[in-house]
Amino acid sequence: LTGVPREQRAFQYVLAHAIPGDPRHVLQTFDQWSYRCEHLSSPGRALRGLATAGKIVERLLHERAPRTVLELGTYCGYGTVLMAMALPPGARLYTVEPDPRHATVAEKVIRLAGFDEETVELIVGPSEEVIPRLREQHGLLKAEFVFMDHWKRCYLRDLQLLEAHELLAEGATVLADNVVFPGAPHFLQYAKTCGKYRCKVHRASLEY
């Protein structure tokens, strides 16, 4: 009714209630909005003690300690802030968002949480156009960790693009959200049968 998009309404709430420079509090404020006001499609961090995608991302990042991380699908920046918190010192996160309106919100959220462009670079554009120029235009030589959380129909295409442009480091981790529901069957089939990957399905609760 207000004409203000849901993502912008969420950011206004975060801006009013979150502590600037405190990424954990920024995420907690986002969670409060999504629990109490309107649902936002984000990884989530806690749900009555059950595992969420956000908790899985955090755990894997702490285990692998990658120096270069690529996120496909920034949305409002929730997952970006979550991953930036878990990066080892000196690591860099590249995040790609195709929708300029969402990217505008995400940029504000990322900077509000206290992460500068040296730590988190937000790239606006369709993933199929951004991936081929990641090395030349953005300096990403090899990604050690990739988090896919964009359009499920793009998962397989973008994984193969990363392969074709030799952007995956040896032993890289590729984590893809929501592959069972809503589902990315072609991606799953390829990952399981192409012989290049060891696959594991992580069970997680739907956020909020």
Q: In the structure, what pLDDT confidence band is assigned to residue 70 with cuts at 50, 70 and 90?
A: very high
pTM given for the model = 0.92
Cβ–Cβ under 8 Å, residues 97 and 106: yes
Active-site residue, from 144, 152, 158, 166: 152
152 is catalytic: yes
Q: Residue ranges per domain, the chain?
A: 49-194
108 is catalytic: no
207 is catalytic: yes
Active-site residue, from 142, 177, 192, 196: 177
Cis geometry, peptide bond prior to residue 182 (ω within 30 degrees of 0): yes
**Is 3.40.50.150 the CATH number for 49-194?**
yes
99 is catalytic: no
Q: What is the pLDDT of residues 53-69, one digit of tens each?
A: 888 999 999 999 999 99
Cβ–Cβ under 8 Å, residues 69 and 143: yes
Q: In the structure, what pLDDT confidence band is assigned to residue 48 with cuts at 50, 70 and 90?
A: very low
Q: What is the pLDDT of residues 112-125, one digit of tens each?
A: 999 999 999 999 99
**In 3D, which of 176, 129, 117, 170 has the Cα closest to residue 151?**
176
